[in-house]
Amino acid sequence: MHIVKCNFSLYVLQNIPGVGHEYSLQFYTKHIQTGQYLGKCNAKVRYQKKMSKPLIDISCTDNKDADQIMKDDYSLYTKLKATSSPDELKYFANVGSSYIAWKESSEYDGYVTREIKDAKRWVRDNTLEFDYTILVDSDVSKNFSCHMRITWNLELPIKVKYTCFSEDTSAESADGSGEESGSYEFFQTNF
């Protein structure tokens, strides 16, 4: 697992009459701390009129071999297991907070992580657990404050669970509670 930054290089919109819009993207990833080039990805994102969330197809190539990726993952894992450095916890929080921002976004309403705070780390056997409070913003919609928990065991995919509350107390979610929850299990990838 690398903590990455993406630089988009190609963006194409195709209107599919009666269906919706499909975006074709090409982007390059870099390691967020070292700036090292990691690889290139191609993605198709289709927003269909009758579905609230997009269909996504993504493929990436990597400039590192699988053994080096496993060594890098192990190095990060042992570093995070040994320390609760605020910088290390912040970089790791980008994994989960980026997912939440993406999950809450729609075709016309994008979210970004504004702030990561209240970072805590626990070690349970061979599993690392991280709790965060994050603030997620949108230019056109409501802002969220989220509690996020990330669980990482080297032998299992990373898991992200979260609960978000609207910062605007007059705004409510679809169920009227003002709360949105979700979870996601990151599959092992080369990024």
Encode pLDDT of 91-113 as tens digits.
Answer: 778 778 877 877 777 888 888 88
The pLDDT of residue 10: 59
Q: How far is CA 52 from the centre of its chain?
A: 18
Mean pLDDT rounded to a whole number for the chain: 77
CA-to-CA separations, 53 to 42, 47, 56, 68, in angstroms, rounded? 19, 7, 9, 35
Structure confidence by residue, pLDDT tens digits, 54-73: 888 888 887 777 788 788 88
Query: Is the entire prediction scored with pTM above 0.75?
Result: no
Burial of 144 (0-12, 13-18, 19+ CB in 10 A): buried
pLDDT at residue 12 in the model: 78
Comparing 186 with 121, which gets the higher pLDDT? 121
Q: What domains can you pick out in the chain, each with its CATH number?
A: 1-63 (3.10.450.10)
